[in-house]
Chain A
Amino acid sequence: MPDIYTQPWYEAVKDTINQEVTKLKDIPDGKWVLAVEIVADGVSPYVGGGADGAANLTATGADERHFLIEISDGRCNWYKEVEGDYGDVELSYRFRGPATVFDEIAAGITDPIDAALKGAVKVRGDMRLLMRQAKHVKVLLEAYSKAVDTSWPKGKPPYA
């Protein structure tokens, strides 16, 4: 069982997406690069040190963690954590929110669509495409939020 926010966990999410997407009809063409930005909120122990404050910032000193996911013709090519900004990478979407919300989504406690609807996760990018490819988007979200057995070495949400 991979630890949350580790390369094995990203690989497991990627594999799940690629398995599930084969069940879909009308898989969308084209390449999307998604950025996920998880911001320290003083609660999650996985970003910014949680309740212990800024003692455990990421390597860049930022109190947020950034991830990039490339989807090509419906399949996930790669999912990785990156330091700092994205350089020349042209983003299709950016999802940004507090660490606890993302932790709870990954733990299957918080529904990602609810989080977006309530503004807890901010979404930037061509929303029309997200709506037009709603079935595919749902597969991605379910893979992220429910499908991978995850280990939580610093504690599992909901946090006290």
Chain B
Amino acid sequence: MHKRYDAVIIGAGHNGLTLGAYLARSGLDVVVLERRHEEGGGLCTEELTRPGFLHNIHANYHTFVDLAPPIEDLELRKNGVVYVRPEVQMASIFEDNTALCIYTDLDATVESMSRFSPADAETFKRLYTEAHGYVDLLLGTLMFQPPMSIKELTGALGTFGIEDRSEFLGVKLRRQSINQFLDQHFEHPKIKAHLAFHGAVCGYANDVVGLAIGFPLLIGKIDNWNLCVGGSHRLAHALWRDLAHHGGTLITDAEVVSIVVEDGQATGVRLSDGEEIQATKLVASTVDVEQTFLRFLGKTTGASADGAGDSVKEDAVGGISTELIDRVESRIAHQDWTLFSVHLALSEPPYYEAAEFNPDVNNAWVVNLGYESLTEMNRDWQDIRAGKLPLPKPNAAVNSLFDTTDAPAGCYTGLLRQFAPFSLEQEGPGGWEIIGRQYARQCIQTWERFAPNLSSDKAVLDWVPYTPLEISQKMINMVQGDWMCGAIKLDNMLDQRPLPELGGYKTPIGRLYMAGSTQHPHGFITFGPAYNALSVIADDLGIKPWWRRI
């Protein structure tokens, strides 16, 4: 006899667990199925280097804390989540050992910037103040609602006369890159580089036309970078606790191979061991579009690391047009850059030479090591898109400065992240297996250059590279190492993400929903895709939205 649930959710990343927890709290019998051995998806914390060193392999920065409704709705703090918001949120250290810091205290940030440019510091203050004011409104309008079209959005901005009221917001941003925005408002190359760097860590490349539209929102929450104590996986565990507490079920090592469709309706899923699980009300996929439509719905029978699937073709199942299948194959856009990481076990924290300029850099969480201008960043994006490895300018984070539980006593867990290509120019993605350790050494050497104490034999106890290829192998929904689960560009935003016909969380198959980071708003720990899909599902099923606290 088949197992039967009201709701079957594919993928136990934060979106799958979030959707499951809300539906379970709404009285539905929910199962969340996870291919891997544990829940969490990108909320993945492992002892990669040595026992006791907790490394966040994917999500490290949680920037929607106290902004995303699920944190309160699902009582995640009661379920064990503890966040720390470091006072020195971010820093840029430059080749001349000057440094710029972003603090939770706006005045301190302004003071830090004014050492480079008093005019830019004042501009930043106005930008932050304006943007921080409308973060709440914009998040409510754009992030935690099923998406509007860009045309509707710009129409409303016009009607409300936003351009006349705001120094920084306006319809014209949809035609600008972050570079253009920064060039228009700021003068100092290092300040511009730092702000662009911040955008890039959020997934927004500074040279892509159209992304200026999201930049003020990023600035409005530039001081809301939070660290999940005990590792990011704690958040996944809290979500699972809430799901379980409300009667939901999580099954790990449960690889979905197909979605069962009868008369145009999704009625369940089939697992790799042949088991079929029935869904009486809905199936929601929180994994990538390629797996969902090309694999689970019968086009191909396997998925490879690059997301292309293997070559065994079958007919698409009923309800999906061949046109849609073709569009999924040809139009799904992924980020054209990804991240190369080095995870380190340290016996001491970095002591930067730039501390002579500003001692607070030693207490900064996310540290940009070397990007000094937009020109440098632009050049690296071009190289990365051509498959070339840039000279390392990694960003460094030592979580143990703020969470002593993530490393053995007296030790520190370190993370270096470098913007990088997925596919190398000559060798393709497989080239990472050859060059990974060498590139990791170069990244560490860059860090040592800014923090010479790390070059002593005893400082770095161990290190492990984590390549873009490994991202795509470990998290197969991060196709081509795409940790945002879809390109961040204007024509892949709002209701156009991931395709216009899939942009509203529904699919052409009845009772089959998309609720993962492929959907609006995007990847990162936003909770947005699940929260917004929930609204659509609730409308369809007549669930009274207890979570909408108007």
Contact = CB atoms under 8 A, between A and B. Distances in A.
Nearest to B132: A119
B129 to A, nearest CB: 8
B318 interface: no
Which of A35, A94, A120, A134 has most chain B Cβ within 10 Å?
Answer: A134
A24 to B, nearest CB: 12
B155 interface: yes
Interface in B109-147: 130, 132-137, 140-142, 145-146
Interface stretch (A14-22, A50-58, A121-129): A121-129
B133 A117 contact: yes
Given A118-B130, A122-B136, A131 B550 contact: no
Most buried by B among A114, A123, A128: A128
Contacts of B156: 130-132, 134
A111 interface: yes
B482 to A, nearest CB: 28
B160 interface: yes
A128 to B, nearest CB: 5
A119 B134 contact: yes
A124 to B, nearest CB: 5
B137 A123 contact: yes
B37 interface: no
A135 B156 CA distance: 8
Contact of B159 (A35, A92, A123, A135): A135
B162 A117 contact: yes
A118 B131 CA distance: 8
Contact of B550 (A94, A120, A132): A94
Given A92-B550, A119-B132, A127 B137 contact: yes
B133 A118 contact: yes
Contacts, number: 66
B130 A125 contact: no
A113 B550 contact: no
B165 A117 contact: yes
Interface string B310-328: 0000000000000000000
B160 A138 contact: yes
Interface residues of A, number: 26
A122 B135 CA distance: 11
Nearest to B549: A124
A92 B156 CA distance: 19
Given A124-B140, A131-B153, A138-B159, A119 B133 contact: yes
Contacts of B148: 128, 131-132
Contact of B165 (A111, A125, A128): A111
Most central of B152, B161, B166, B550 by chain A CB within 10 Å: B550
Nearest to B145: A128
A127 B162 CA distance: 15
Interface in B210-265: none
B134 A134 contact: no
Interface in A69-98: 91-94
A90 to B, nearest CB: 9
A85 B296 CA distance: 49
Given A126-B145, A127-B140, A131-B141, A113 B165 contact: yes
A138 B334 CA distance: 39
A124 B152 contact: no
A109 interface: no
Interface string B292-332: 00000000000000000000000000000000000000000
Contacts of A111: 165
A118 B145 CA distance: 20
Given A113-B161, A134-B160, A119 B136 contact: yes
Contacts of B153: 131
A116 interface: yes
A138 B156 CA distance: 10
A114 B550 CA distance: 21
Contacts of A131: 141, 148, 152-153, 156
A114 B140 contact: no
Interface in A103-160: 111, 113-114, 116-120, 122-128, 130-132, 134-135, 138
A85 B166 CA distance: 35
Nearest to B165: A114
Nearest to B169: A117
A117 B166 contact: yes
In the complex, the 6 A-B pairs of residues with the closest C-beta atoms, listed nearest first: A127-B141, A131-B156, A134-B159, A118-B133, A119-B133, A134-B156
18 contacts: A91-B550, A113-B161, A113-B165, A114-B165, A117-B130, A117-B165, A118-B130, A118-B133, A119-B136, A119-B137, A127-B140, A127-B142, A130-B156, A131-B148, A131-B153, A134-B159, A135-B159, A138-B160
Interface of B: 130, 132-137, 140-142, 145-146, 148, 152-153, 155-156, 159-162, 165-166, 549-550
Interface of A: 35, 91-94, 111, 113-114, 116-120, 122-128, 130-132, 134-135, 138
Given A111-B165, A114-B165, 14 more contacts: A35-B550, A92-B550, A113-B162, A117-B130, A117-B165, A118-B134, A119-B132, A127-B142, A131-B148, A131-B153, A132-B152, A134-B155, A134-B156, A134-B160
